[in-house]
Structure 1
Amino acid sequence: RGAVYVALGVTPGGQRQVLGFWLLPTESATAWEEVLRELWQRGLRRVLLFITDGLPGMEEAIRRVYPLAQWQVCVVHRVRSSLAQVRARDRALLAQDLKGIYGARSRVEALEALERLKEAWGSRYPSLVAAWWENSGALLRFYDYPQVLWPYLRSTNLMERFIREVRRGTKVRDHKFPKGEAVYKLLYLESERQEGRWAERRLKGFAEVQEVLEGMLRERYAPRTQTLTHKS
């Protein structure tokens, strides 16, 4: 048994690419940092945004390898976790209030919705509300990017969809692999198949903001800035 780490990237033009996969004993931020270092060494030097779940230590791991990149915590994971913490009778109304945060038309409106969340639920579920406030920077990071991309950037849904496709293609649940090499081979073959399907299916919305994203990359990774801030 082990954890399969998968890194999926999206270019400014909306082309999805499997950056790599690793079979490791368990999932941890320390292991993810090693994965990130390998990606850096392989030549992936400019990243605007990492989107992950809320694994403890993940932000620090990203900062150590990609200090100029931003970090977005998956809103879907946070919502599911929040709803699991409350009474059944409160879930529908709380879900509506949470949607007011990540479904707002701007960061300003999202922060206003956070204030309403505190007023409505702060006394009943103080730790839940505090977690949203304490992590608001990472939860609302997607608002820094073009609005047409928000549905992609606020969650790990693209990755989860890819994992489902891999499972469907390889039927991993029905197999027992005696050696790690067999897992790598199946993942490689399935990744190749998926990338072939993606070749003519760029994600919607990226084409119209491609120049904006490329400009953000140039500005953030200007040679002088990169030299001053990167820590190897």
Structure 2
Amino acid sequence: MKRISAPEQTREQLRALIEGRLGTAPERSSLVLLAARLILEEALEGEVRDRIGRERYERADGEAKGYRNGYRPGRMKTAEGMVEFAAPQVRDTPEPFVSEIRENLTGRTQALEDLAVELYARGLSTRDIEDAFTDEGGRRLLSRAAVSEITERLWAEYEAFIKRDLSEYRIVYLYVDGIAERLRAGQPREAVIAAWGIGEDGRKVLLHLMAGSKEDTETVRAFFQDMRMRGLGDPLLVVSDGAPGVIRAIEECFPRSARQRCLAHRMRNLAVKVPTDLWPEFKTRVAACYQAPSRAIARELTNGIRSEYAATLPSAVSCFEDDFEACIAHLRLPVTHRRTTRTTNLLERLFVEERRRLKIIPNGFGEKPVLKLMFGALIRAAERWRGLRFTEFELRQIAAVRKELDAEYETKLTPSGRSSHQRFSSKSAP
């Protein structure tokens, strides 16, 4: 039976701590220590893997460069206390193995700077990072100015991220959502819009992150057009909440794509319109409709909900029927993909994590600091996302749906191949 590696054990402890309130100074101190310990252990594991040329428990070939021999404890003094970590041991190498990472961490080195960036991305302020590392004599290894300069790398990474070519991603499902953040001191919260997608290879990828004044059509249109100019093609499905500006922008920028209304948002809308004692039954009926085998069956179930509740719950029925076709768009997809495509929950969970990290930092506002922290949190979380499986059969289903959507789009055009708006404009032109 394989033993759990030291970084995996530390990661579990850190996750348990982050999922708590983190409201007290001792808890924040523990976060600093565990985050430093995790990054150190991950770095040391990678160093050993590169040195001996294989993973843990991987059998050696005839050209083995040594072998692992458990762990030995290591310690690093910080202002928050002593960081104790597990360092992998190596035996039978051509030359005695000496960890360069451990040696470099004795001063202000590239390794220490990388560690500061990671700590900042995990939600620590520059003051936390500055206080985290001192030598045995109390001398700070990184000043606040140095930490601020180092964390600017995240901004450089963000700027490269929002300019990168997107043509390599053949996106099938595109998700867009926003979160209100305090980007300017003394001003109301403003929207930060994020988009992620799932490609034909099943990989989930963070595509864009942009600050906007609000989720209006103009802002979201510019958000989509930026991705289009960088090579993003037509997705099969675009998933969003019910913000009118977002919906209009989707229909303008992706006219050949289906649009899915986030059902998590819709269910929350319905819950406030139904008395508590009636909600369990109403919720079951609505969920059965949204999870029907096909759109045709979903429409039939709608008739039953309307006839039974229209008189007693008119506002709930009206909300249920609003934008109904967008609520069941996922039912035209492969069955195994429907649960993933009917909500924007993944982005919402990331926003919750980002908010938790931002709360730890006092006075954490301003467009650049907020975007740096959001990008650092989201891009690192995206690296751990599990993909979605696409079988050959499901790819054929997706291709068939694309043909249906193309045909539906063509029917909206006049026989001359122009929309009615284009035809009117040409007649009105001098």
TM-score, shorter chain, exceeding 0.5: yes
Q: For the residues of structure 1 that align with 2:328 and 2:259, how far apart are their CA atoms?
A: 10
- Aligned match of 1:206: 390
For the residues of structure 2 that align with 1:150 and 1:8, how far apart are their CA atoms? 17
Cα deviation for residue 215 of structure 1 reads 6.0
- Measured against aligned partners, the alpha-carbon deviations of 1:60-81 in whole angstroms (never above 9, x if no partner) come to 2112212111111011211111
Does residue 90 (structure 1) correspond to residue 275 (structure 2)? The answer is no
Note the alpha carbon deviations across 1:120-173, whole angstroms, 9 max, x for none.
1111122321332241111111111111111011111222233234445xx012
Counterparts in 2 of 1:120 and 1:196: CA distance versus 1, 3 Å: same
Residue in structure 2 matched with residue 195 of structure 1 by the alignment: 382
1:191, 1:229 → 2: CA distance? 41
Q: 1:158 to 1:210 in 2, by over 3 A?
A: farther
Aligned to 1:173: 359
d(CA) in 1 for partners of 2:302, 2:406: 32
Distance (Å, rounded) in 2 between the aligned partners of 1:147 and 1:229: 35
TM alignment of 1:31-46, pairs within 5 A: 31-46=219-234
Aligned to 1:77: 265
Which residue among 368, 372, 387 is the counterpart of 1:185?
A: 372
Q: How many residues align?
A: 222
Residue pair 2:330, 2:342 contacting (<8 A) in 1 also: yes
Q: Secondary structure at the match of 2:387?
A: coil
**Counterpart amino acid of 2:398?**
L
Structure 1 runs of 4+ aligned residues shifted over 6 Å read: 228-231
User: Residues 12 and 213 of structure 1 are in contact (CA less than 8 Å); yes or no, is this contact kept in structure 2?
Assistant: no
Say if 1:92 and 1:58 are closer, same or farther in 2 by CA, change over 3 A.
same
Q: Secondary structure in 1 aligned to 2:247?
A: helix
Counterpart of 1:60, as a letter, is: R
Question: Unmatched 5+ residue regions in structure 2?
Answer: 1-181, 183-189, 411-416, 422-430
CA change 1:125–1:149 in 2 (3 A) is: same
Pick closer, same or farther for the CA change 1:32–1:190 going to 2, 3 Å: same
Aligned mate of 2:296, from 64, 83, 108: 108
Moved more, 130-139 or 96-105: 130-139
Shift of the alpha carbon at 1:182? 1.8
SS at match of 2:207: strand
Matched, 1:161 2:345: no
User: Please, which moves more after superposition, 56-65 or 34-43?
Assistant: 56-65
Structure 1 residues 218 and 194: CA distance shift in structure 2, 3 A: farther
Q: Distance in 2 between matches of 1:210 and 1:165?
A: 33
SS at match of 1:124: coil
Tell me the distance in 2 between the aligned counterparts of 1:57 and 1:118. Answer: 28
The one-letter code sitting in structure 2 at the alignment partner of 1:28 is D
Percent sequence identity over aligned pairs: 26
Q: Which amino acid aligns with 2:377?
A: E
Question: Which is richer in helix?
Answer: 1
Give the direction of change, closer, same or farther, for the CA distance of 1:229–1:95 in structure 2 (3 Å limit).
farther
Unmatched 5+ stretches in structure 1: none
TM-score by length of 2: 0.47
Larger Rg: 2
SS of the residue 1:14 aligns to: coil
Contact 2:221 2:253 in 1 (8 A): yes
Aligned residue in 2 for 1:140:
328
What is the rounded CA distance, in whole Å, between the counterparts of 1:74 and 1:161 in structure 2? 14
2:270 and 2:202 map into 1 onto residues whose CA distance is 31
The structure with higher relative contact order (CA 8 Å, sep 6+) is 1
User: Is contact 1:83-1:94 (8 Å) kept?
Assistant: no
Asked if 1:5 corresponds to 2:193, the answer is yes
RMSD: 2.6
C-alpha change, 1:14 and 1:94, in structure 2 (3 Å) is same
